[in-house]
Amino acid sequence: MVDERTVKFFEGVLSKTKAGKIPWEPTALEARFIAPIGGEFSLSISAVVEPVSLRDAALRVTIKGGFDRYTLVLRDLHGKVLTTVTENDEGVRPDAMRELYETARREAIRPDEKINKAIEVLQTL
C-alpha cells in the first residue's frame, strides 16, 4: 500500500533539492550527505553497495558485482529517526531516488565548480 505521506515527503525533498534549496554537505562517509532543515530536522541520504554474486553452473563462472541502494532518513533535533525512505517503498521510483542522491552529491561536493576551476588552471599552464 502506498504511504501518501512518505511519497509526499520524498517528492518534496527531491523538488527542493533540484531547486538548490537544500544545503546538502559531505560527511565522513564517502556516500552519505546531510542537510539540516528549518532548525527542527535533518536529512541524510546515503548509498550502500549491495553485493551480488551470480553463479552460472553451465558456464562454470561466477559473476560478482553490485548495485547501489539508496536511503533517505529524516531525523528530529534530538536525533530520533522520524522516517526512512528507500527505493523499495511503494510510490517511490528507484530512478527518482538515484536522481535525488546524485543531485544531493553534486550540491555537496560541487564537482562542476571544481572541474571548471581545474580547466581555468589548465589554461594558465
Partner 1 sequence: MADFLAGNWGNLASVAGLVFSILAFVFAKRASTAAKEARDEALRQSLVEYLDGLARIAAELGAHLRSEMNDMALLRISDLMDQTSYLIGRWEARPPKKSKDNLSRAQEQLLSIHQALDAAGDLTPEDRSRLAHAGQEVSGIFSTEHGVAARAAGAGDD
Site residues, partner 1 (CB under 8 A):
25-30, 32, 34, 36-42, 44, 75, 77-79
d(CA 100, CA 17): 7
Residue closer to partner 1 by CB (options 71, 94) is 71
Minimum CB–partner distance for residue 79 and partner 1 (Å): 5
The closest alpha carbon to 83, from 75, 91, 94, belongs to 75
Minimum gap (Å) between residue 65 Cβ and partner 1 = 19
Quote the least distance from Cβ 26 to partner 1, whole Å: 7
Residue among 63 and 77 whose Cβ is closer to partner 1? 77
Amino acid at 2: V
CA distance 116 to 25: 20
